[in-house]
Amino acid sequence: MLAPATLIVACLFAAILGFVAHRASICTVRAVAEIVSARTAFMLASIGKSALWVVALTLPFLWLMPAAANGIGGWRLTATALAGGLLFGFGAAINGGCAYSTMTRLVDGEMRMAVSIGGFAIGIVTFVALVDLDWIARPQRTPALIGSVIAFALVISLVLAAWAIYEVPRIWRKRPMHLRIHEMVLSPHYRLSTAALVIGVASAAIFLLIRTPGYTITFQNFVQGVVGKGAPPPVSSLILLAAVAAGMLASTLQRGSFKLDWRPQWSWLRNIFGGVLMGLGTAMLPGGNDALVLYGMPGFSPHAIPAYAALLIGAVIGVLALKHIGGLDTRVVCSNDIYRAEVQSRGSILNSHPPRETSAARSGARRA
């Protein structure tokens, strides 16, 4: 049984993760749209850095305690997993946000994202029905490749340590010199590299404490448990999911970006459709972009990197379809390691609510 103190510490890190993910507006779909529209890759680089930070912090621990690596499982690389990644990426683009972005925009008051989560649940139920019809196979568990990597852990750890020695001072030098620590923490927007560091540290701590498989998998297991087609997730996983959402909610309330948008529109059908594809893709993988980047890759699951590559391809297809066929605005602006929410087009389907004109928001140049 999980010790209460362990769960409390893990929830603290989960809340920090949610808070920072909201402040930095990190999203795989935005990362793809940035590449397509601006030919820059600041956000995608930050996603990669998050995974590297998790590896940099967990691999030395697993090297020193090899027995701990025995409990890390993975998922087999199959055509179903690749198809799941493609569907998830395409669905996330149609929805206008990936797993974390859907949550951050929901706590900002965009009720269309609640519709997306409903579609997500429908997609998982659809997967269960397809499995019952023998039209598709369930993902297959397999040992993670961490055991093979342990032999090279010292070399990998030294390389990542050298990168960390370069990256941490660089992040510190780029901080706003005129802000105090608490003012940087409460800055309306975080630099992407700063967010990657904090998200990586928080995810590594949660990974070592609880070995959670990811929040999209937690939701998948919850839905499957509700319909009687699988074991429900542990209560600890549900509490962690709630802690992530609480961190995001705390961010939107403190920053002043909450704006309730509840009036249904025909465009919400796009969110339902995108959510269904995301739910189906999650069940086929299993896991969404959060599970692949923060847990699958650091755990060296065989399916993680190829499936995430398929997810990116699906997102590219979706973004291009929305832009050229749907005529929708998918522009994303990033510069100098910052997502420029304040200069985003109000017509962009990938844009969330900007902060209200609070004393913090008025200092638009403030970045953590």
Between CA 41 and CA 45 the distance in angstroms is 6
Angle of CA points 204, 240, 269, to nearest 5°: 110
pLDDT, residue 164, reads 96
pLDDT at 302: 93
Cis peptide before 234 (omega within 30 of 0): no
pLDDT at residue 194, rounded to an integer:
95
Q: Give the Cα separation of 178 and 363 in Å (integer).
A: 12
Residues in contact with 63: Cβ distance below 8 Å, sequence separation at least 6, in sequence order: 150, 153, 154, 157
Spatial neighbors of 232 by CB under 8 A, at least 6 apart, are 221, 222, 224, 225, 226
pTM above 0.85, yes or no: yes
What pLDDT, on the 0 to 100 scale, is given for residue 118? 97
Helix (H, G, I), strand (E, B) or coil at 186: coil
Q: Are 161 and 56 in contact (CB under 8 A)?
A: yes
Phi first, then psi, for residue 142 (nearest 5°) are: -155, 155
| Beta pairing partners, 73 | 143
Collapsing DSSP states into helix, strand and coil, what is residue 111?
coil
Q: What is the pLDDT of residue 8?
A: 95
Distance CA 106, CA 275 (A): 13
Question: In residues, how long is the chain?
Answer: 368
With residue 338 as reference, give the H or E element that holds it. strand 338-339
Tens digits of pLDDT across the chain (368 residues)? 678 899 999 999 999 999 999 999 889 999 999 999 999 999 999 999 999 999 999 999 888 887 777 778 889 999 999 999 999 999 999 999 999 999 999 999 999 999 999 999 999 999 999 999 999 999 999 988 887 888 888 899 999 999 999 999 999 998 888 888 888 999 888 999 999 999 999 999 999 888 777 899 999 999 999 999 888 999 999 999 999 999 999 999 999 889 998 899 999 999 999 999 999 999 999 999 999 999 999 889 999 999 999 999 999 999 999 999 988 888 898 888 888 876 666 667 887 655 554 434 444 444 56
**Sequence spans of domains, the chain:** 7-261+274-361
Angle at 220 between CA 215 and CA 226, to 5 degrees: 125
> How far apart (Å, rounded) are the C-alpha atoms in residues 236 and 252?
25
DSSP of 220-273: HHHHHHHTTSSPPPPHHHHHHHHHHHHHHHHHHHHHT----B----TTHHHHHH
